[in-house]
Amino acid sequence: MQLSKLLNNNLCGVSSLLFDNLIQMKRHPLLFLLLILGSFTAASQSVTFILQSPNLPDSSKVYITGNAPQLENWNPAGVEMKFTGNHTWQQQLQLQPQNGLEYKYTLGSWAQEGTDTAGYPLQNFIINVANDTVIKDEVNNWQKGKKAPVAGGITGTVKYHRSLKGKGIPARDLVVWLPPNYDTAKRKRYPVLYMHDGQNIFDPATSAFGNEWRIDETADSLIRSHTIEPIIVVGIYNTPKRSNEYTPGKLGSAYMDFVVNTVKPLIDQTYRTKPGPKNTATGGSSAGGIIAFMLAWEHPQVFSKAICMSPAFKIEDIDYVDDVLAYQGKKKSLFFYIDNGGIALENKLQPGVDKMLAALKAKGYKEGKDFYWEKAPKAPHSEAAWAKRMPTALKLLFPAK
């Protein structure tokens, strides 16, 4: 973290007396830095995680991961726990105060995470970090190197494009969902929705947590009932570099270039699309929500619509609100569907969502015409929650004609 950012983040928590002393110490920059760093460290809380797993051999390596940098941001082999005897593992971490810290236990991969008695992945554990605390959890069942059983499957026809390469980013797969009657209506062309986190949108067998967005079932039902026009949906798989690829920065720019100049041309050449921006949309959630916004904002000649569910517009080191406010050009012909929930991590995202909505209004975008915002107060940050809100998004972006 840059020193300037560290200072900006932490001077507000320094007492007035300490602040006065610091001003007097401007001749001693090293001591000044040490005091500021001490103030930053003091703001963190000691959280001890204790896991008991009676059915797990004592020789097992157990890991904890979650939605915080100290938990390696959902890297399933990020933080190894220490065996303390009698089927018990422990790890102590210094965490910044926050509401809705989510975490899980694994044996080193998502194919070896804790499950319920039926073999389904456990829901995320959720705690609020406010004070030094000890957390005790118990996991009795684990996946043993195989995918957890999942219900359902893919509705409709999908095609796969494997290991598509991009410049400066890892190769990845694409999955393409085709609307009903695509194979029989040979002369018909279709709008396209490009979705990020592609392995999570159709198939529970490939989804990271065994739950998917059900876009296949939702789109199929809405198309057959003539509620939306028939569309093609492209799922672009994520990679271990997801966090950087989906946020502002060098990898974010490389990912957008990949979508615009590699993925879209392939889809337009292979399938019967309507290639213009009026019929091209993009969508995602969380970090995927901000990259969807960025793609439309920075490439309006390609995309005219974006679905931004639970977007990380402005949180911690991520900030795209200032980019929108800094724009001085002509108003762009864009429509944004934006939403967010109200539980745990969703509360942390709310200030950034509020600021982006205000930024759009400041730039002349009108709610109900140029953007739509929905708040789901009881919704968590999950695929199941986004699946429930997807029908509204699809109706707004692709209404039946």
Tell me the C-alpha distance between 16 and 315, whole Å: 27
- Summarised one tens digit per residue, pLDDT across range 166-204 is 999 999 999 999 999 999 999 999 999 999 999 999 987
| pLDDT value for 209 | 64
CATH number for the domain harbouring residue 125: 2.60.40.10
The answer as to whether 58 is a domain residue is: yes
- C-alpha 169: how far from chain center: 18
Domain of 266 in residue numbering reads as 157-397
Whether 148 is in a domain gets the answer no
Q: What is the biggest distance separating any 2 CA atoms in the chain, rounded to whole angstroms?
A: 79
Among residues 237, 223, 244, the alpha carbon closest in space to that of 394 is found at 223
Question: Are 168 and 134 contained in the same domain?
Answer: no
58 plus 117 within the same structural domain: yes
* CATH number of the CATH domain containing 244: 3.40.50.1820
- 218 sits in which H/E element: helix 215-224
Q: Are residues 100 and 170 in the same domain?
A: no
* Cα separations in angstroms, 227 against 50, 219, 284, 334, 360: 50, 9, 22, 22, 28
Is the same domain home to 245 and 338? yes
Residue 376 located in a structural domain? yes
How do residues 321-374 score in pLDDT, each as one tens digit?
Answer: 999 999 999 999 999 999 999 988 899 999 999 999 999 999 999 999 999 999
Is residue 149 a part of any domain in this protein? Answer: no
| pLDDT (0 to 100) of residue 145 | 64
- Continuous segment of H or E residues that includes residue 292: helix 287-298
C-alpha 379/C-alpha 388 separation (Å) is: 10
Whether residues 170 and 26 fall in one domain: no
**Contact (CB, 8 A) for 95 and 128:** no
Residues 69 and 194 in one domain: no
**Which residues of 268-311 form beta strands (DSSP E)?**
280-285, 305-309
Strand ranges across the sheet with 125-129? 79-80, 63-66, 98-106, 125-129
Residue ranges for the chain with pLDDT beneath 70: 1-42, 145-152, 209-210
Are 112 and 261 in a shared domain? no
Q: Which among 116, 142, 168 is the end of a domain?
A: 142
**Confidence at residue 146, expressed as pLDDT on a 0 to 100 scale:** 54
- Under 8 Å between Cβ of 87 and 54: yes
Q: For residue 147, is it within any domain?
A: no
Query: Which sign, positive or negative, has the C-alpha torsion 156, 161, 165, 169?
Result: positive
Same domain, 186 and 50: no
Give the SS3 label for residue 249.
Answer: coil
Residue 87 lies in a domain: yes
Angstrom distance (rounded) from CA 351 to CA 154: 36
How many distinct structural domains can be found in the chain? Answer: 3
Distance separating alpha carbons of residues 51 and 36, to the nearest angstrom: 34
- pLDDT at residue 67, rounded to an integer: 78
One domain, residues 331 and 193? yes
Residue whose C-alpha is closest to residue 344's, from 132, 136, 128, 133? 128
Q: Is 100 helix (H, G, I), strand (E, B) or coil?
A: strand
Model pLDDT, residue 181:
92
Tell me, yes or no, whether 137 and 204 share the same domain: no
pLDDT of 353 reads: 98
C-alpha 270: how far from chain center: 29
365 contacts: CB under 8 Å, gap ≥ 6:
331, 334, 336, 371
Residues 284 and 259 in one domain: yes
Same domain membership, residue 107 and residue 215? no
